[in-house]
Structure 1
Amino acid sequence: MKITRTLGVFVFICVFVFFPISFPTIIAQSQGVNVEEITDYQEWNESRIIDKDVIIRSGATLVIGKGVEINFVTPWIGIIVEGNFLVKGTLKEPVVIKSDLVTGSFSITTTASSNVMIRNAEISNGGSAAYLVRGVMNKVSANSYRGSLEIDGGEIDVQNTTFKNNLYAVIVNSSDAIIRVNRSRFIDNNFDVEVNGNGNSNVDFQYNWWGNINGPEETCFVYNNKQQCYYEKIYGAFNFSNWLIKENFRDPVLIVPGILGSEEGSNNKWVLDPVLHTFDNLIADLEKNGYEQEKNLFLFPYEWRDSNVENAKLLQQKIDEIKQLRHWPKVDIVAHSMGGLLAREYIESSYYGNDIDQLITLGTPQLGAPESYLRWERGIGLPSLQEILFSKQMLLWVEHDGYNDTFDYIHNRPISSLQELLPVYDYLFDIDQKALRAYPNYYPRNQFLENLNNKLDGLDKVEFTKIIGKLGNNESSMAAFNVINIDKGKYWIHGYPDNIESIIGDKGIGWSDGDGTVPIDSAKGIASDQEIEINSSHQKLPSKASDIIYNVLTNYDSIANIDPLIIHSILFVPVFSPVDIQIIAPDGSRMGKNFETGGIYNEIPGAYYTGYDTKNEFITIPNPVNGEYQVLTQGTATGNYRVEVSKITEVDVPGGEAKESTVTLRGTTELDVREEKKIELANDDTVVAVNEDTLPPITTLASAGTRGTGDWYTSDVAITLSA
């Protein structure tokens, strides 16, 4: 009997020495303390008091929404993650996970099957330790401790989170877990990070603030004439390099335009909307608030006619370049219109690099834009300034590339992005059947957007903000079409909008509120972390929302006071070869090719010239002043040429309609031959060709002097020519 007792005590001591656990845990389990089990999908969008363990079972998901406060009020409890645990705070409204207990505080414990994402959170007063008696007369003792985040396996991604006043902030016990804790702060914890075992190459604690510009606190001493050092609050082998030298940081910002938001200039280099200047005010606002281009502010112009699927791969390359340049793991993206779909394609892809923190979309058609139906089915658009400009540019491409018309160009080049903007909901009312067709039956399919909206879980990886334009007019944005089935050859295969080509009537269009381009229901389309509505047209959203964008990015108010460039009219001058072009404005300022030096004049504010080494040469001048303009040409070969001069003027109506006036200048040229023609912009927004005098002058000659024999003059002669 005595031997049995001794053996029992020995086993008891060994258990606690080699497998330390807390007495409160044993007692709680023996007493059958209640446990809350989560076995399916749950969202917590209101603050909670937790008084018992919460277990997220394998296959289940718990999402904690922005601004929620979780308060643990019972000792030695926590959240045990066997499934998915998503903490989705925002910069403005972080999630708070805390306890007011002095001892035996909470722990979030992961397992091998865990998938944990914590974003924008504050974790405080967590972690625990228990001192246990393991032998007779208190001579054998040890302690059991847990971190506020206790990692026993799984995949864990923690970003922009503050660990503060925890007994133990993070403890890693697994050699297999994949762990990223970045862009976070460790402040006034008793102990910050402990990584046990032989090391784990998948433990990444880079880019964090450790409370000091010199990184984790270090203590050094001399032993055997050698300096020895150890860290006060971290232990184990893991990567904590590239620490922050100040507590707050800014991710680099990348601006992604939408359709027509980039132009191809000289040397095949794409530039960000130099024509309508959609982003000028936003860029100026960000720069005024401390951002600097090519340091923490970057632009992504691209060939927007190509598929978003292909451009998403180029976006990945651009982000990789920024990360390498800035030695930083993530960027924030501000995307206008279709640019939001492009960014989503990357985020929701299988090759996403987990390198975007915030996605801010501006007027993105999350469910598609009915306006694209007109382009896809017939190659036409309604008369807005942007749509008329789009049509003019397409005619230039059609002629230069040898297509029959814009419809042929859209489908056979093709402009894949237009098809990827088609709506994926019911928007065609069949007049013959007197019924709204059910998408996708007898609709032009948009499989890109269908697939994209079937992968929305990918957006959980970013803080997602939608900024939406709402003009407050139920007839501002195209939402649907009343169609009839009629044979129009290759056009209107899926239905002809009744009277679409009429100059009066509703043109077979159903209208709704929105930003003039994207209907409100499509802009709202999918769930996001926050949604902000402002009174703005589609094109002006980046300008009007610039202060909001800065606030979302940084949680600070903008100090900028930028007067935005509002474009109400534009002069568009395309060149149909074989000539290059230069324009001289009424005040003498020039834009276009310098015929003497081969350089480029750029003297008209806001104007854009593609350059003369491009396939499609043109000049644009925003808000052109009225008066006489000189249009100079220089031949690049022998042949006939023409130059079209169009003034497109916005009409002050909710839908943003516009009117145009065009004149065509024609001529015949040879290599290096220069010609001058003139046009005048009149007060009524029309363009007028200044008449050229095509009749030869009638010249008379008069002479005066002293005449001699045979009408020869014998004195000086004065000759006078009159015409």
Structure 2
Amino acid sequence: MRTDHTPLIVIPGLFGSMSNEIIPGTGGWSFGLAGMVYEPFVLMLETMGYRRGENLFICFYDWSQKIEHSASHYLAKTVTMAKRQTGAERVNLISHSMGGLVARAYVQGDEYQNDVDQLIQLCTPNAGSAPNYSYWAGGELPTGEKGKINFVHFYMRWYLEYLRHHYKGSQMDVIHRHFPGLLDIVPGSDYQNYLIMKECNNRALLPYTHMKTTNAFLDSLNAERSILDQRNIDVTVIAGTGEESIKYLEVVPYTGTGAWVDGEVTAAAYTNEGDGDAIQESVFLLDGDHYTVEGTHIEVLYKSKDILRPKIGR
């Protein structure tokens, strides 16, 4: 269990880190434009007794790369640095969205050093997120979402445009070559079937086992999720609710080449049991202490203060 001396590492979500390693010319590691989201969260943690650079550390990482790469090259090194600087043997990880998968890749992986006490996830799509199929397979926002820009959709649209303009090749080749981390957050098998194939007047769920767009990373990670209990890691999972969130995508056969390999997205079906980006079923795939907070993917960060304080407060 934690002690008052356990250092805390914050792992932001997709687009929550920026540096020259991701986009040349953006400087050293920082939250970038996402600072408007994460800097207030860090300040909130400081009201609980933490101090950035002393017992509170940020794990910035290259979210464009595969999640396992981020866990090995960024999080593992941040954990080592935090232990060395504080003299602690174990740390607590507090992660948002994609950052929760980076955390899992470390604590469930072969490089794990028995040095994590608590894993706290906020809005992490542990089974994947349906809109990411549309980004990965077609390079565009899901139909019906263009008028509903939120933080994730805004940055996704901006980054896909950046890739198109800065690299040669077909749109899908460029995305797949320079943004492989995106595939790691499409739905995996535990999300269950999420594409509704429409042919003529018939609609039927497309079996995940028949799809070409599969998530080998999440399928492997989730098959071994019981290792968290075996490694005595306390898990807290916080999900947002009350926000219209995509649960299913309706697709039609695509006659072109190079995109929409499992069908072109034409519509979406929603649930209110989500935060606008991640649905509760996906977030709560991981066992642990479960909490639900009304709010968006971003609002949950701040609305979870009363949940976080007794777990990591000092």
What does the per-residue CA deviation read over 1:554-604, in whole Å, with 9 as the maximum and x for residues that have no partner? 3x7xxxxxxxxxxxxxxxxxxxxxxxxxxxxxxxxxxxxxxxxxxxxxxxx
CA contact (8 A) 2:212 2:261 kept: no
The answer to which structure has the higher helix fraction is 2
How far off is 1:392 after superposition? 2.1
Trace 1:487-636 onto structure 2 (pairs within 5 A): 487-497=255-265, 500=266, 508-512=267-271, 513-528=273-288, 530-554=289-313
Which residue pairs with 2:173 in the alignment? 408
Q: What do the CA deviations read for 1:119-145 (whole angstroms, capped 9, x no partner)? A: x4xxxxxxxxxxxxxxxxxxxxxxxxx
Q: Which amino acid aligns with 2:258?
A: K
Partner Cα separation in structure 2 for residue 443 and residue 481 of structure 1? 16
Q: Secondary structure at the match of 2:81?
A: helix
Contact 2:137 2:259 (C-alpha < 8 Å) held by counterparts: yes
Runs of 5+ unmatched residues, structure 1 = 1-119, 121-159, 161-247, 501-507, 557-723
Give runs of aligned pairs for residues 76-475 of structure 1, distance below 5 A.
120=1, 249-264=4-19, 268-275=27-34, 277-314=36-73, 315-381=75-141, 382-383=145-146, 384-386=149-151, 387-405=153-171, 407-413=172-178, 415-424=179-188, 425-432=192-199, 434-460=203-229, 461=231, 462-471=233-242
Three-state SS of the structure 2 residue aligned to 1:357 is strand
Partner Cα separation in structure 2 for residue 390 and residue 308 of structure 1: 17
SS of corresponding position for 2:185: coil
1:520 CA drift (Å): 1.6
AA aligned opposite 1:478: I
Distance 2:120 2:253 in 1: 40
CA distance in 1, matches of 2:37, 2:19: 16
**Kept in 2: contact 1:332–1:359 (CA 8 A):** yes
For residue 226 of structure 2, give the secondary structure of its aligned residue in structure 1.
helix
* Cα offsets for 1:177-226 (capped at 9, x unmatched): xxxxxxxxxxxxxxxxxxxxxxxxxxxxxxxxxxxxxxxxxxxxxxxxxx
State the alpha-carbon separation in 1 of the partners of residues 305 and 111 from structure 2.
31
Amino acid at match of 1:548: I
Shift of 1:275: 3.4
Residues 451 and 312 (structure 1), Cα distance of their counterparts in 2 relative to 1, 3 Å cut: same
Letter matched to residue 365 of structure 1? P
1:601-680 alignment runs, 5 A limit? none
- State the one-letter code of the partner of 2:159: Q
TM-score normalised according to structure 2 size: 0.88
Runs of 4+ in 1 over 6 A off after TM superposition: none
Distance of 2:235 and 2:251 partners within structure 1 = 36
Q: CA–CA distance in 2 between the matches of 1:290 and 1:417?
A: 34
Alpha-carbon RMSD? 1.9
CA deviations on 1:73-93 (whole Å, 9 max, x unpaired) are xxxxxxxxxxxxxxxxxxxxx
Identity rate, percent:
25
CA distance, structure 2, for counterparts of residue 321 and residue 491 of structure 1: 42
Please tell me whether Structure 1 or Structure 2 has the larger radius of gyration of its CA atoms.
Answer: 1
Residue-pair matches, total: 295
Structure 1 residue 282, shift from structure 2 partner: 1.8
Read off the aligned partner of 1:455 and give its amino acid letter.
Answer: E
- Report which structure shows greater RCO (CA 8 Å, sep ≥6): 2
The one-letter code sitting in structure 1 at the alignment partner of 2:286 is I
TM-fit CA distance, 1:279 = 1.5
Please give the TM-score of this superposition, normalised by the length of structure 1. Answer: 0.39
Q: Contact conserved, 1:368 with 1:423, CA < 8 A, in 2?
A: yes
- Residue 303 of structure 1 and its aligned partner are, at CA, apart by 0.8
Question: Cα distance 1:311–1:480, how it changes in 2: closer, same or farther (>3 A)?
Answer: same
Is there any run of 5+ residues in structure 2 with no aligned partner, and where? none
